[in-house]
Amino acid sequence: MPSGTVTPSIGRRLIPLGFVLVAALSYQIVVFPNFLQSLRAEPGWDLSPGGAGLVGSMIFLGMMAGATAAVPLARCLGRRRATLASFLWLTLWSGACAVAATPWQLGFLRMLTGIGVGVAVPLTLGLAHDITKRFKIALGIVSFGMPVAGLATQNTMGTLAVEDAWRLMTAVGAGVGLIALALSLWLLPRGTDMSVLVPVRAVHRKPGRRVVVWMGIGLIGANLIAWSALTGLTSADLRFNAVLNAGAIVAIFAVAGVAIHRSETPTSLSRTVRATVAFVLINPPTAVVTVIMLVNVAAGKSAGFVLTMLGVVIADCYCRSLTLSVAPRVFEAIPRPPGQKAGPTAPVPQPLHPGSDR
């Protein structure tokens, strides 16, 4: 670690903090597949399944934009303040979603919520990376905030009446965000090492604006094509959930592939494809959730549980892919033999002063 950087005191108390942060940001993603029946029952909205899918998928577009701003914001404010700002942002806009008066307002507000989620994802997973350097099981524990959030939303929705259920659950998301914000104010270290957010290679660059724009167009386009055939579905329908996440699935591979190709220079196309598939599909916490999902499918368990776990897997892959694109040091996309370096590193930002609020 470069001399002079301020390393936060990593204690066990940061493990439950990371768990809560992951649960709070992933709640905003995994809660929506349970909303369809309630949204379509909203008086005066007359939403089709495709229209509901469009509203739900706007959060992925916001996350893409937010992730590109995460590192610059952290360098400007410091990781602590940037993390606090991102959770404050997603909490406020999640609360606004609960009082949306029209479908277009809800979609727009979910996109704004997604910007906060996108900023929070690399910073939160970067914190998990720091904790894991001292406590090896930390990443696995923190990552299980996603399935816990998914199961909590599924079980809670099952106890609510259809009328206004989506508003209540959206308001709950704001409450969870407030809890995460309060715990961050209390537990998040003030001194922080920025090196994990620095690109692996001096030649590495974050995805350019043109790349982000075209990925966003592709994300929306994939959903529009898939939504065109949606009629008469419910939130427990596998086809609806697959279509709802169609754009996100395309974006997962596109974002991860571009990130790997740009950070692993030079590399062949076939190597990039293999590394991208491995990065997306092979992740210990995700693998555990996938196995649980498949076991339940084989046992003929409820579709609701299986679809919730599918949403968790997609949320995890999307969050990791965005993080890889803006902070590649958080994840090792292509494992290397011990002692082999990734290449020349980029300059480390100026160290922060001990006791600063950054």
Q: What is the pLDDT of residues 258-300, one digit of tens each?
A: 888 777 655 678 888 888 888 888 776 677 777 777 777 777 6
9, pLDDT greater than 70: no
* Model pLDDT, residue 234: 54
Q: What is the greatest pairwise CA distance in the chain?
A: 63
345, pLDDT greater than 90: no
Portion of the chain with pLDDT greater than 70, in percent = 70
The answer to whether 167 and 98 have CB atoms below 8 angstroms apart is yes
Give tens-digit pLDDT for 166-217: 899 899 999 999 999 999 999 888 765 666 776 555 444 555 555 555 555 5
State the average pLDDT for the chain: 76
348, pLDDT greater than 60: no
Please list, in sequence order, all residues whose beta carbon lies within 8 angstroms of the beta carbon of residue 11, skipping any fewer than 6 positions away: none
Mean pLDDT to the nearest integer, 218-242: 54
Would you mind telling me the total number of residues written for the chain in this entry?
358
* Model pLDDT, residue 110: 93
Handedness of CA 250, 251, 253, 257 (dihedral sign): positive
* Model pLDDT, residue 203: 42
Of residues 254 and 290, more confidence is placed in 254
* Model pLDDT, residue 347: 44
SS3 category, 79? helix
List the single range of 19-23, 41-45, 253-257, 264-268 with lowest mean pLDDT: 264-268
User: What are the b/e assignments for 288-315, b being 16+ CB within 10 Å?
Assistant: ebbebbeeeeeeeeebbbbbbbbbbbbb
Name the band, by pLDDT with cuts 50, 70 and 90, for residue 346: very low
- Give dist(CA 211, CA 209) in Å, integer: 5
- Give dist(CA 106, CA 94) in Å, integer: 10
Look up residue 310 and give its two tokens.
Answer: 């599918």
227, pLDDT greater than 60: no
* Model pLDDT, residue 215: 57
Give tens-digit pLDDT for 308-339: 777 888 888 889 888 888 888 887 666 554 44
Could you tell me if residue 347 is left (phi over 0), alpha (psi between -120 and 50 degrees) or otherwise beta? beta
